[in-house]
A and B are shown apart, each in its own frame.
Chain A
Amino acid sequence: MKNNIKIIKFMDDSKNSIQGLVFSVKKLRFWIGFGVTLVVMSFIVGFFQNFQVNVSLFSAGLGFNKNLKMFLALPSALFPLFGYFYGWLFILALILQAISIGELVVSRKLVNQTDAKSMSGSGISALVITLGLGCPACGTSLLAPLLVAIFASAGLAVLNTIGTIVVILAIVLCFWSIRRLGLIIYLASL
C-alpha cells in the first residue's frame, strides 16, 4: 500500500515536473541559460576531448592569433561524436545539462533562491562528463591513468566499461536535476 502511494506520488511529481519544463521553455531566460551552457560546455568538451594536444599547443607560445584560432575551433571536436552511439550519449548528456541549467535560471527568478541540490547535480554531472572524455583505447582518456594507478595494466581492460558507466551516471544526474527543477518551477508557478 505504501509502495503504491510512493509510486503514485512519483508519477504525479514527474507529470508536474514535465509541466514545469513546458512552462520554462516559454521563457526567454530558459533559452539564454540553455544556449550559454551549450556553448560553454562545447568548448570544455572540445578541449578535454583532445586535451593533451590542446594543452601542449596552447602552451607552445604560437602567438595570440593562432591561439585564438585554435580556441575558436575547439567545439568542432564535437562533430565526430555524432558518428556513433557512445558519442550520442555524450551529446545527450550535454543537452540535458543545458536544459537543467536553463531550468535553474527560470527557477532562480521564480523562487528568488538557487536550489542547492539541483545546482550540485548539474555541477557534478559536468565534472563526470569531463572524466569520460578522450580515447580510452589509446590511453588518452583522463580515466586511463586513474584506473591504471589503481588496477595496473588490468585497468585498461575495464576502461571502456567504466567510461560508459561514467557517462550514463552523468545522464542520470541530469535527469534527476531536470525533474527536480521542473517540479519546483511547476509549484512556484501555481
Chain B
Amino acid sequence: MAKKVSNSDKNLEAQARLNELLNQNKKSRQRTYIIVGVICAVLITLIIVAIVYMFSSKDKEGSSISTQDSAVQAAASMPKLAVDTVWHPAMLEGNQQAPKLFREYSDPFCPYCYKLWKQINDNRSAIKSKYLDQNKFKLETRVLDSLSVSNGGKSVNSTRAAEYTYCASRQNKFQDFWDALQNKINDQYYSKGIGAYHGAPEIPQVEDSFYTDINKDLGLDESKVNDCITSGQGLKDLGQADKSASEASQGLPAIVFGSFKTNGFAGDWNQLQAMFESGLK
C-alpha cells in the first residue's frame, strides 16, 4: 500500500513538473514565442544582410586594399589595369587570342585559393584538351596580397610571396614557380593543419630562402630576381594588381568568367567544370 501511494505521489510530482516545463500557462508560452521570434528574425536579417553585401557590386577605388599598403604606394604612378584584358601574358595559360578570359584572383597564402589551384593543377591536361587547345577561353591567374597584415588580414607572408611570384613571371616562369610554391606551402603547412582552415594556427613568417630555393630548383637567374626584388619592381607589379582588383574585395579566390562571378571555392572538378560551362554560355 505504502509503495502504491509513493508511486502515485511520484507520478503526481512528475506531472506537476512536466506541466511547469511545458508552460501550460498560455501567456508565458506566448512570451517565449515572441522572444524567440525576435532572436530568429535578427539572425535571419543578419544572414540576409551578409548575403546581400557579398553579392552587391562594388567598384571601389583600389577595392578593399588599404591606401597605406606599401605595394599600392609603390605602384602609385602606374595606371590601373583594364579589367577584361590580359594583365600579364606570362601569367596566362592558353592562347592569348582566345575570345574569353577566365580570371582567377589569388593570394599565395590563401587556403581556398590553394583548393582552386589544386583542382586546376590536377586536371590540367583535361582543361587543356577540352578548353584551352580548342580556344574556348584563356586562363589568367592574378596574384594579389589581399590577405596580408597590411590589408587587414593575418598573413605575414603574402606580400613577399607575391613579389617573388611577379619576379619569376618576368623570367617567364610564373606557372612553374606558382605550382612549386603552392605545393611547398601545402607540404610544409596546410597538410600539417597550419593555416589551412578556420581556427588553425597561423603560418609563421618564412625567410626569403623559402622562395629562392624554389628559384634555384627552377633554374631562374638569381641576379635578375635579386634586381627585381631590390629595385621594388615586383612590389610595383603587385601594387598595380592590387589597385586594379575590385572583384577580389569580397573574398578569395575571386573568379570572373564572362557574366559568371563568384568568390571562394571549396569544390571539386565537377564544380570547376560547372564554372567553365557557366562562363562559356
Contact = CB atoms under 8 A, between A and B. Distances in A.
Q: Which secondary structure dominates where chain A touches chain B?
A: helix
A154 B51 CA distance: 20
Contacts of B29: 116
Interface residues of B, number: 66
Interface in B59-107: 64, 66, 107
Contacts of A154: 152
B21 to A, nearest CB: 6
Given A116-B36, A124-B36, A163 B198 contact: yes
Interface stretch (B10-18, B126-134, B177-185, B231-239): B10-18
A76 B268 contact: yes
Given A116-B29, A127-B44, A135 B266 contact: yes
Interface stretch (A29-37, A57-65, A95-103): A57-65
Interface string A76-92: 11001001111100000
Given A137-B154, A138-B112, A160 B198 contact: yes
B43 interface: yes
A120 B54 CA distance: 28
A81 to B, nearest CB: 9
Given A62-B277, A85-B199, A187-B17, A124 B152 contact: no
B260 A60 contact: yes
Interface string B145-186: 011000111100000000000000000000000000000000
Interface residues of A, number: 63
Interface string A91-124: 0000000000000000000010101110010011
A73 B46 CA distance: 27
Nearest to B23: A116
A123 B147 contact: no
B50 A135 contact: no
Interface in B12-42: 14-15, 17-18, 21-23, 29, 32-33, 36, 39-40
A184 B266 contact: no
B134 to A, nearest CB: 19
A187 B264 contact: no
Contact of B251 (A61, A127, A144, A187): A144
Contacts of A144: 50, 251
10 contacts: A49-B266, A53-B263, A73-B271, A84-B197, A138-B264, A142-B50, A142-B51, A160-B198, A180-B21, A190-B10
Nearest 9 A/B pairs, CB to CB: A153-B152, A140-B264, A120-B36, A60-B278, A139-B251, A86-B199, A140-B251, A56-B262, A145-B53
